[in-house]
Amino acid sequence: AQTVTQSQPEMSVQEAETVTLSCTYDTSESDYYLFWYKQPPSRQMILVIRQEAYKQQNATENRFSVNFQKAAKSFSLKISDSQLGDAAMYFCGRGGSQGNLIFGKGTKLSVKP
């Protein structure tokens, strides 16, 4: 089955602290990529970070980084120095060679001031 699992429906972090969101996936494809999207209350989907499966080095984008464990099919997102604007739904997902995306159920992140 081509699935993406986010085991944390909700997470909370103190402002300026670090939080890690978990994600595991399953795929039979050899050519795929992984991503995290953020969906704030406006519901506009915003790409946070993307990782090509063939790349061993973990992707980073400023305060956002991933821990990609290909053998374990794990793709967690670490947010450092959390800010109030980081509060949103975060969707982990997998993309295939055709461009179609499969999303996990999402993790609602709250940031406490």
Partner 1 sequence: GAVVSQHPSRVICKSGTSVKIECRSLDFQATTMFWYRQFPKQSLMLMATSNEGSKATYEQGVEKDKFLINHASLTLSTLTVTSAHPEDSSFYICSALKPRDSYYEQYFGPGTRLTVT
Per CB under 8 A, residues contacting partner 1 are 33, 37, 42-45, 47, 50, 52, 91, 95, 98-106
Residue 14 vs 60, nearer CB to partner 1:
60
Q: How far apart are CA 13 and CA 37, in angstroms?
A: 18
Count CB neighbours of 3 within 10 A: 11
CB 35 → partner 1: shortest distance, Å?
9
CB 1 → partner 1: shortest distance, Å?
13
Selection from 80, 107, 109, 83 nearest residue 24 by Cα? 107
Residue 16 vs 105, nearer CB to partner 1:
105
DSSP line for 6-41: ---SEEEEETTS-EEE--EE----SS-EEEEEEE-T
CB 39 → partner 1: shortest distance, Å?
9
The amino acid at 27: T
CB 100 → partner 1: shortest distance, Å?
6
Q: Do 78 and 86 form a contact (C-beta atoms < 8 A)? A: no
Residue 12 vs 18, nearer CB to partner 1:
12
Residue 66 vs 104, nearer CB to partner 1:
104
